[in-house]
């Protein structure tokens, strides 16, 4: 028999503590995954789409665990209301987020997205909410 390993990595969505959770976090991940290539959105927009516009912080916290979620969540496409890469420090390297955005054709200057307004993708609009 094959040896094994494997562990219980079958966890899907998980909270930062590592336990399964299907609440707000899961919804956030799904919405963020809908962000098309070369587009970006804000925490507040996602939160508002979920009916919790006042809980933008929770969206940001959800992103904190996005790295361990499958499929991968394009957290680099989520920035704050000013188009600033507030979460760049939470990636592998401080430049990873900026690098990824530039790779998708998004211009970044001084930790801020150029034409943020133009590239902004409203989840409520695409999800028909």
Partner DNA sequence: ACGCTGACTATTA
Partner DNA sequence: CTAATAGCCAGCG
CB of 108 to DNA, least distance (A): 14
- Residue in 11, 90, 111, 124 binding DNA, rule: CB under 7 A: 90
Element (H, E) at 108: strand 108-109
91 lines the binding site for DNA (CB under 7 A): yes
Map residues 18-57 to x or -, x wherever contact with DNA holds by CB under 7 A: x--x-xxx----------------xxx-------x-xxxx
Nearest one of 92, 93, 85, 95 to 60, comparing CA atoms: 85
CA 81 vs. chain centroid, Å, equals 14
Closest to 9 (Cα-Cα) out of 65, 62, 69, 63: 69
Identify residues 97-126 at the interface with DNA (CB under 7 A): none
List the interface residues with DNA, window 65-84 (CB under 7 A): 66-67, 75, 78, 80-82
Residues 6+ apart with CB under 8 A from 115: 107
Determine the size of the site formed for DNA (CB under 7 A). Answer: 33
Q: Considering beta carbons, is residue 60 or 123 the nearer one to DNA?
A: 60
């Amino acid at each position: 028999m094959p040896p094994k390993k494997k562990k219980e990595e079958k966890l899907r969505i998980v909270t930062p503590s590592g336990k399964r959770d299907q609440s707000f976090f899961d919804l956030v991940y799904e919405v963020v995954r809908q962000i098309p290539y070369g587009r970006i959105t804000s925490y507040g927009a996602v939160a508002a789409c979920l009916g919790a516009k006042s809980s933008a912080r929770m969206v940001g916290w959800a992103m904190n665990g996005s790295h361990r979620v499958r499929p991968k969540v394009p957290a680099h496409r989520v920035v704050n209301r000013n188009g600033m890469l507030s979460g760049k420090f939470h990636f592998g390297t401080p430049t990873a987020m900026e690098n990824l955005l530039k790779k998708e054709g998004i211009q970044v200057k001084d930790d801020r997205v150029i034409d943020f307004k133009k590239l902004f993708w409203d989840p409520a609009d695409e999800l028909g909410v």
